[in-house]
Amino acid sequence: MTINTNIPDKHGKFGPYGGQFVPETLMPALEELIRVYDEARNDPAFMQEFDHLLKTYVGRPSPLTHAKRLSQKLGGAQIYLKREDLNHSGAHKINNALGQALLAQRMGKSRIIAETGAGQHGVGTATACALLGLECVVYMGEVDIARQQPNVFRMKLLGAEVRPVASGSRTLKDAINEAIRDWVTNVATTHYLLGSVLGPHPYPMMVRDFQNVIGAEAREQVLAMCGRLPDALVACVGGGSNAIGLFHAFCDDENVAMIGVEAGGEGIAGGRHAARFADPNVSRIGVLHGTKSFVMQTPDGQIMETHSISAGLDYPSVGPEHALLRDQERAFYTYATDEEALAAFQELSQTEGIIPALESAHAVAEAIKRAPKMRSDQIILVNLSGRGDKDLDTVIRELMIDD
Ligand SMILES: *Cc1c(COP(=O)(O)O)cnc(C)c1O
pLDDT per residue of the chain (403 residues) written in tens, 0 to 9: 444 457 899 999 999 999 999 999 999 999 999 999 999 999 999 999 999 999 999 999 999 999 999 999 999 999 999 999 999 999 999 999 999 999 999 999 999 999 998 888 999 999 999 999 999 999 999 988 987 888 999 999 999 999 999 998 898 889 999 999 999 999 999 999 999 999 999 999 999 999 999 999 999 999 999 999 999 999 999 999 999 999 999 999 999 999 999 999 999 998 999 999 999 889 999 999 999 999 999 989 999 989 999 988 989 999 999 999 999 999 999 999 999 999 999 999 999 999 999 999 999 999 999 999 999 999 999 999 999 998 998 899 998 755 5
Q: What is the number of helices (H) and of strands (E) in the chain? A: 14, 14
- The residue from 93, 109, 292, 390 that is catalytic is 93
Residue 197 near residue 134, CB atoms below 8 Å: no
Residue 385 known to be catalytic: yes
Residue 115 known to be catalytic: yes
Residue 115 near residue 381, CB atoms below 8 Å: no
Dist. CA 328–CA 86, nearest whole Å: 33
Residue 287 host element (H or E): strand 283-288
Beta-ladder partners of 380: 79, 232
What b/e readout covers 358-397, taking b as 16+ CB neighbours within 10 angstroms?
A: bbbbbbbbbbbbbbeebeeebbbbbbbbbbbebbeebbee
Atom of ligand 1 nearest to the CA of 313: 4
> Taking Cα atoms as reference points, which of 116, 190, 125 lies closest to residue 158?
125
Nearest CA to ligand 1 atom 4: 238
The sheet with strand 111-116 has its strands ordered as 161-165, 135-141, 111-116, 190-192
Beta-ladder partners of 116: 140
HSE-up of 173 (CA within 13 Å, CB side)? 22
Residue 62 known to be catalytic: no
Give the residues surrounding ligand 1 with Cβ less than 6 Å away: 91, 93, 118, 120-121, 196, 236-243, 312-313, 357, 359-360, 385-386
